[in-house]
Amino acid sequence: MKKFWKFILTIIITVAAYGYEAYDFGSEAHEAISLLQGQLEVKLLDVGHGDAILLRNQAVAILVDTGDYKNSDILVRRLKTLGVRKLDALIITHHHLDHLGGVIKILNNFDVKNFYDNGIVNPQSEISKDVEKLILNGILSRQILSAGQKLEFADNINLKFLAPASKNGFPEKDLNNNSLVFKLQYGEFSMLFTGDIEAKTENDLVSRYGKKLQSTVLKVAHHGSSTSSTYNFLKAVQPQLALISCGDKEKYNHPNKKVLGTFEYLQIPVKVTSQNGEITLRTDGEKYQIMTDK
């Protein structure tokens, strides 16, 4: 019994440490979900250095990654301003802080129906270890995803997971190359989500899937870092558009100039959150349009 109350106290301390943002829904006008029937929206939220991507239509809201902890208040506030009340799915591509950092505040502020990740804990991250404690103690229900699995949501939102493969040869400590990679299919429109994979995972994906990687839009891996976006991978994906989520250019130098040069050589237009602000894509399953803050 003492262990139980000790655990409850730990959870209370954790919540207090990460904070709960009280929000008055009447304090400002909310952006109505102006999506038409049959329309899907993909938003690369501007959370500085990190990924936080909202997928939604009139029936479903899915969040892919939660950005860094230091910008988690911005993320929570933006989602609530957008009118998000619940998340049908929260997908964490991997447990680096710039993808996982806002997870506790998301769990505290939204009704999260399903939590998905690759099952690999980051021993250097207290937030990662806290999430694992919530899972092990039955407070948070998790489904571990890997290559070959699929998630299907209302109104024909389909996610097919391409990585990590069960025998990819990458040790668990290689968090980037064990990122969840999945292809969103919505009618004829497709978008490839790549987490922070690097060249060796890109090469593995090309070897295993080849032309099946081809996608309308690419969420560029690892914030446009020089570690990723290899020529052969981009040739296999053949995106009409590439989207990069990044910030703090002085520290990380993202996106890398050589990577941008590869996109330019392949005549693939690029949008970057650090330059364009929040990036919004809307599609009816055939055509799509892009809107940016800047």
pLDDT tens string 197-218: 999 999 999 999 999 999 999 9
pLDDT score at 36: 85
> Going by DSSP bridges, is the β-strand pair 111-112/217-219 parallel, antiparallel, or unpaired?
unpaired
pLDDT score at 169: 81
Residue 246 lies in a domain: yes
Residue 15 lies in a domain: no
> Going by DSSP bridges, is the β-strand pair 181-186/157-163 parallel, antiparallel, or unpaired?
antiparallel
Question: For 231-272, what is each residue's pLDDT tens digit?
Answer: 999 999 999 999 999 986 657 778 999 999 999 999 999 999
Domain tally for the chain?
A: 1
Tell whether the model's pLDDT for residue 223 goes beyond 60: yes
Considering only CA atoms, give the Rg of the chain: 19
Tokens 């506030």 sit at which residue?
A: 77
Dihedral of CA atoms 74, 75, 79, 80 in degrees, nearest 10, equals -40
The CATH number assigned to the domain holding 65 equals: 3.60.15.10
Quick one: tokens of 159?
């996610």
Q: How confident is the model at residue 166 (pLDDT cuts 50, 70, 90)?
A: confident
* Nearest alpha carbon to residue 78 among 114, 100, 47: 47
Q: pTM for the full model?
A: 0.89
Residue range of the domain that includes 122: 41-292
pLDDT score at 29: 37
pLDDT score at 249: 66
Residue 185 lies in a domain: yes
Tell whether the model's pLDDT for residue 37 goes beyond 60: yes
The amino acid sitting at 264 is E
Residue 14 lies in a domain: no
Tell whether the model's pLDDT for residue 162 goes beyond 60: yes
Residue 273 lies in a domain: yes
Give me the mean pLDDT over the 113-136 stretch: 97
Residue 27 lies in a domain: no
Question: For 280-294, what is each residue's pLDDT tens digit?
Answer: 999 999 999 999 998
